[in-house]
Amino acid sequence: MNNLLSYICSLTPFSEEDWEYLKPALTKRTFARNELLLREGEVCSSLFYIDAGYCKSYYEIDGNIKNTELFFENEIATNVTSFGSGLESKYNIIACEPLITIVFNKDKLFELSKQHPKIENLGRICLRQFAVKQEEFLAIFKLYSPKERLEYIETHHPHIVQRVSLTQLASFLGVTRETLSRIRNRRIS
C-alpha cells in the first residue's frame, strides 16, 4: 500500500487521517499473467492501481486483437466510460505480467466521497490525470505518422518500448508488426 500512498501524495495533499478514511475502499488483489481484470460486457466497478507488473486494455474485432491502452506501475487502470456511466465495457483489460493491484471499490468510493471532500477531490484529480493522458495519446494519433508515433513513444515513454514485445507495441501504435519492423529497418540505413 505504500506505493499507492506515495502516488496519492504526489497528486494532492493527503493526511494520515484521509488515508485511514480511504482504506476501507481498498483491497489488494493479484492477477496471474493473462488473467482478465475486466471482461468485455461487464460493467467496470473498480479502479485498479498498478503496484507491480503491467496490463493492457484491448478490443477484439473479427477475431484479432487491438491494444488500446497500456497501464504500468503507478497508473490507474480502468475503463472510464463504463466506470462512470455504469454501462457495459466494450473493452477487456488483461494482465500482461503477474500483476499486483490495489482495487478501489466504486460503491464504497462514492459513499466516502460524500463524507470526505478530500476523497472526492482525489477522485477528480485522478479523473483529470486520465483525461490528460487520453488527450496526449489522441493527439499522437491525430498529428503523427506511424514513424513519428514510434519516435514520440521512444522519447516520452521509453519504458513502453523496453517492456512490451514488438507485436504488442505495433498494435498499440496502430500498425501491423511488419510495418513497425520496416520503420525500424529504414532508420538504420
Partner DNA sequence: ATTAAGCTGAGACATTTGTCACAAAATCAG
Partner DNA sequence: CTGATTTTGTGACAAATGTCTCAGCTTAAT
**Positions that interact with its own copies (CB under 8 A):** 59, 61, 66-68, 79-81, 84-85, 117, 120-121, 123-124, 127-128, 130-132, 134-139, 141-143, 174
- SS percent in the chain: helix, strand, coil, step 5: 55, 25, 25
Cα separation, 27 vs 102, in Å, equals 6
Q: How many CB atoms lie within 10 A of CB 134?
A: 12
- Closest separation in Å from C-beta 167 to DNA: 3
Q: Which three cell numbers mark 97? A: 505480467
CA-wise closest residue to 55 among 73, 29, 80, 79: 73
- Closest separation in Å from C-beta 33 to DNA: 6
Q: Which is nearer to its own copies, 73 or 120 (CB)?
A: 120
- Closest separation in Å from C-beta 31 to DNA: 13
Query: What element of type H or E holds 130?
Result: helix 117-143
CA-wise closest residue to 38 among 87, 94, 85: 94
By CB under 7 A, the count of residues binding DNA is 20
Q: CA angle, corner 46, sides to 77 and 153, nearest 5?
A: 5
- Residue 87 interface partner, choices its own copies, DNA, none, CB cut-off 5-8 Å depending on type: none
Q: Which is nearer to its own copies, 33 or 128 (CB)?
A: 128
- Closest separation in Å from C-beta 34 to DNA: 8
Q: Which three cell numbers mark 86? A: 455504469
Q: Which is nearer to DNA, 21 or 144 (CB)?
A: 144
* Contact footprint for DNA (CB under 7 A): 33, 145-147, 165-168, 174-179, 181-186
